[in-house]
Structure 1
Amino acid sequence: MTKSTHLAEDSGTYAGDQRAGRVVAIILNWNGADDTIQCVRSVQARSDASCTCLVVDNGSTDGSAATIRAACPEVRVHETGANLGFAGGCNAGIRIAIRDGAEYVWLINNDAIPADGAYRALRDVADAHPAVGGVGAVLRYMADPNHVQTWGGGWHAPWLGAAVNWTRPVPDSLITYLVGACLLLRIDALSEIGLLDEAYFMYREDVDLCVRMQRAGWQVAVAKDATVYHAVGGSSTSAEQRDRWIASSAVRYYRKHAPWPEFALAVETAGKIGARLMRSEWSRARTVWTATRRAWRSQSGN
């Protein structure tokens, strides 16, 4: 695990007498105060006294941290001082939760809204199964709640470069990773295997974490009664920039976990390029190819 060197002092206080509850909900913010405030208020309204919110401002440049503090003065806001990526920002919050004695951390995207009962369902599954290190939720599209985005996560075979994102109920035995947009993690498991790998700036860090967790003997599970509405596609980041991050993370993942990383990466990359060519997205297909080659070369010494 790469440790961050950009951690600024956290500020704000938890409501009540305790610094942290059994569960710390970590909400990562980057230039998205409106979404973050809505998420915070939804988490507060749909959880109980066992849960406290921690907002991690990941190097915002638009004054988000001040806006969030003004709107939610009872919520603690930690500023990293730089954009550490998803893994680095979440880890900053996880370290605070560990220091303050939390039992679980609840990672939830700032563009996600938990439904009534979601928090309790996540916690109940974790409490009932001490061998479970991570619990995922049923993510539904916020703009189309009748359709499931992800049933907790999916199945991935690093030796094949193949993956299936489940959108229907499946046994936990068929789930090899959980989606980080809503993920309850047991601190005991993280203390054993380490936090999110910060070498992934964006994407695949949740898959990597679940692989490490299961190899260490921990289980992952889905709380079927935990529904979370997710506003997919709201980011201002360009599609080609996302392709670059995805390519870099794929290289990192297969180098770490695949017995034949070149083969697995080639299979996945060919699929990505083919999908973009079928949509006549010539520039994005080229971006995937060049970004993958560049990442493979740059990570050769890692």
Structure 2
Amino acid sequence: MQDLREQLTFVTVGYNSATVLSSHIEFYCRSATEAVPRWLVVDNASTDGTAKLLQNYPEVELLQNDKNLGFGAACNRGIAAADTRYVLVLNPDTELSEAGVRDLLAELQQREAAIAGPALQPEANSDVEEVNWLIGAVLLMDTTLMNDVGYFDERFFLYEEDKDICKCAKDAGLKVIHCRNVSIPHVGGGSTERSKAVNEFIHFHRGRSYVLYAQKHGLGQAAIDRFVAANRRRCLVALATFGVRRYRRAKAKLEGVKSVAPS
């Protein structure tokens, strides 16, 4: 049996995730039959006591950012600090197990893939197949393959960074695989409370990241125009039906578009 500590580093990225970090760490530790691999928690300047909480977990190293760098940039910091061939990037609201990690690593190695992702929720089948992109909640990477490609494009503060890194790997001729036969559940709820301001911030970056991705990968102005038109329609429908929240979400996306593609 492979010693995971010699091969693998965990990188969990969090922002105001104290409410889920304990269960995230303890879920894995309860399943472990050997010492926990090196585990880096990259924290994006949380204000919820994350640093204090992690003092209870000596198996975890805290990399504390002095401001919120966004998901991709925080991932990059953790990947750069890793000293193993394989790096597992995680959201803090995932249920990680030693068996799941071993199975995912075995699939990545057997198929000589650059990036592998598990089933994040129950799947109807257990196929392993090449895909164009994976959801970034759990991504296992082979750094010997990915170092030449690069990692997360830090222009994407939130959203599209997972799709982008997978496309860059595919464009370089590397394999990206979805391992539906491996379960690492993404239970959700791992970020800050969804206040009005937070919701608008999130949807601003949905719009901004969509345009950045479209521009980077040549989707064309027509794709951006369709995105804008769809969200303008949502604004009008929301106003007509007194859907204040829907209006704010669509308006925030349009503001995000304007930040990188001003009309």
Q: Is TM more than 0.5 here?
A: yes
Residue 278 of structure 1: CA displacement? 7.8
Partner in structure 2 of residue 267 of structure 1? 226
1:75 counterpart = 2:60: yes
Partner in structure 1 of residue 41 of structure 2? 55
Aligned length: 252
Which of residues 243, 247, 255 in structure 1 aligns to 2:207? 247
CA gap 1:84/1:22 in 2 versus in 1, 3 angstroms = same
CA gap 1:170/1:179 in 2 versus in 1, 3 angstroms = same
Residue 177 of structure 1: CA displacement? 0.5
1:66 counterpart = 2:52: yes
1:298 counterpart = 2:259: yes
CA distance in 1, matches of 2:126, 2:245: 33
Where structure 2 has 5 or more consecutive residues not aligned to the other structure, the ranges are none
1:186 counterpart = 2:142: yes
CA distance in 2, matches of 1:231, 1:125: 23
Secondary structure of the structure 2 residue equivalent to 1:113 = coil
Partner in structure 2 of residue 139 of structure 1? 120
CA distance in 1, matches of 2:181, 2:234: 33
CA gap 1:281/1:38 in 2 versus in 1, 3 angstroms = farther
Kept in 2, the 8 Å contact 1:135–1:185? The answer is: yes
AA at the equivalent of 1:40: I
CA gap 1:21/1:66 in 2 versus in 1, 3 angstroms = farther
Which of residues 193, 198, 204 in structure 1 aligns to 2:160? 204
CA gap 1:182/1:42 in 2 versus in 1, 3 angstroms = same
Which of residues 216, 224, 232 in structure 1 aligns to 2:180? 224
Partner in structure 2 of residue 213 of structure 1? 169
CA gap 1:291/1:105 in 2 versus in 1, 3 angstroms = same
CA distance in 1, matches of 2:249, 2:218: 20
Partner in structure 2 of residue 237 of structure 1? 194
Residue 84 of structure 1: CA displacement? 0.7
CA distance in 1, matches of 2:242, 2:228: 15
Aligned CA RMSD, in angstroms, stands at 2.9
With structure 1 as the length reference, what TM-score do the two structures score?
0.73
Partner in structure 2 of residue 8 of structure 1? none
1:164-197 deviations in whole A, cap 9, x for unaligned?
Answer: xxx7666624x21011101101112331111201
CA gap 1:240/1:267 in 2 versus in 1, 3 angstroms = same
Which of residues 62, 80, 89 in structure 2 aligns to 1:107? 89
Kept in 1, the 8 Å contact 2:208–2:259? The answer is: no
Residue 218 of structure 1: CA displacement? 0.6
CA gap 1:291/1:237 in 2 versus in 1, 3 angstroms = same
CA gap 1:275/1:229 in 2 versus in 1, 3 angstroms = farther
Kept in 2, the 8 Å contact 1:27–1:55? The answer is: yes
CA distance in 1, matches of 2:218, 2:128: 24
CA gap 1:43/1:266 in 2 versus in 1, 3 angstroms = farther
AA at the equivalent of 1:243: H
CA gap 1:272/1:139 in 2 versus in 1, 3 angstroms = farther
Identical pairs, percent = 27
1:69-123 deviations in whole A, cap 9, x for unaligned?
Answer: 2x102321111121111111111111101xx2x1111111111112562111110
CA distance in 2, matches of 1:172, 1:28: 27
1:172 counterpart = 2:172: no
AA at the equivalent of 2:218: A
- Give the number of the structure whose residues are more often strand, by fraction: 1
Secondary structure of the structure 2 residue equivalent to 1:31 = coil
CA gap 1:28/1:259 in 2 versus in 1, 3 angstroms = closer
Residue 26 of structure 1: CA displacement? 0.8
Which of residues 17, 21, 40 in structure 1 aligns to 2:6? 21
Residue 198 of structure 1: CA displacement? 1.0
Point out the more displaced range, 189-198 or 248-257.
189-198
CA distance in 2, matches of 1:168, 1:256: 34
